[in-house]
Amino acid sequence: MRQTMADMVHRIQDEICDALKQLDGVEFRQDEWTRPEGGGGRSRVFSGGKVFEKAGVNVSVVHGTLSPQAAKSMGGGHELDGADLDFFATGISLVLHPHNPMAPTVHANYRYFERGEGKKSGSWWFGGGADLTPSYLFEEDAVHFHRVHKDVCDRHEVADYTRFKQWCDDYFHIKHRGERRGLGGIFFDDVNDASREDCFAFVTECAEAFLSSYLPILALRKDMPFTPEQKEWQQIRRGRYVEFNLVYDRGTTFGLTTNGRIESILMSLPLTSRWEYCHEVAEDSEENRLLEVLREPKNWLQD
C-alpha cells in the first residue's frame, strides 16, 4: 500500500498540473527535495500566470521517527500509544489562489499514514478532503462542489458525506473569529474501517474528482469584472486563510515538528494578504452575505 499510494499521488499531481498549465499559460517551478530523516517530495508551484496569483501542488513520501510532540499533533488519539513512533506518510496537498476575487481559493489533500510496520490494529489510516474558500458567495458554486464530493462518498461504504461535511465545517473553524475559513466540502481522518484496498479506492476517487469539482467553477469566475474594493476584500479574506493555517492547521504543525521542508509546508499561504484594523462591512453588502454562511454553515444539498 505504501508504494500504491505513492504512485497514485504522483499520478494525480501530474494530471492536475497538466490541467493547470494549460489553463494558466505558464510552466510550474518544480523542486525535488529530500529529508535528512528519510524520504522526500516533489513540489510544484505556479506564479505569474494569467489565472493564479499562486498555486501549489505538492507530493511527499517521508518516513522516520516521530517525536511525542509530532505524534500529538496528528490528533485522532494516536498520541495515546507511546510505542511505534516509527512512521511512514505519503500524500498530495494542493492550494490554488486565483487572481480574480470572484474566483474561489480551493484546497485539497489526501494522505496515507502508518505507525510502525502498519500491521497492528489502528496503526494505519487514510485522511484528507477538499474545501472551497470564496471571497464572494455564489451558491451554485457551493452546490456543485459539494455535489461532486457527495456523489463520490455515496459510491463507497467507508465514506459518509454528512459526517465528513460536518467534520469539515468543524475543522476549518477560525475560533478566534467565530467563522469558518470557507464553504467547506469534506474532511476526514483515521479512515480504516474497511480493508486498505477499499479505503484506498475511496481516497483515489476523491483525488480524481478534484478537477471536475473545481474547474467548472473557475471557468465561470476567472474572467468576471471586479472593482479595487472587491480586490481589497479578497486580501482581507486571505488574511483569514493565513490565520487558520498558522494557528490551527494540524498539517502545518505536523510538518514543522517533523523537520519538513519549510517552503513546501508554507506553500499553502497566499502570495499577498491584508489585515485592516477593525474592518467592518455593511449589513446589506455581498461581503456580509458571505460572512453569514461562514458564521453559520448551511447544508448546500437538500437531498
Could you give the residue numbers annotated as active site?
107
Q: How far is residue 103's CA from residue 92's CA, in Å, rounded to a whole number?
A: 23
- How far, in Å, are 18, 94, 175, 182, 269 from residue 244 at the CA level? 29, 16, 9, 11, 10
- How far, in Å, are 69, 78, 96, 164, 188 from residue 272 at the CA level? 31, 36, 13, 30, 29
Q: How far is residue 279's CA from residue 285's CA, in Å, rounded to a whole number?
A: 14
Instruction: Look up cell 471536475; give the residue.
Output: 212
Measure CA 202 to chain center.
Answer: 17
- As a dihedral over the C-alpha atoms of residue 202, residue 208, residue 211, residue 212, rounded to 10 degrees, the angle is -60
Q: Do the Cβ atoms of 19 and 216 come closer than 8 Å?
A: no
The Cβ-side half-sphere exposure at 186, using a 13 Å CA radius, reads 31
Measure CA 72 to chain center.
Answer: 20
Query: Exposed, middle or buried, 282 (CB in 10 Å: 0-12/13-18/19+)?
Result: exposed
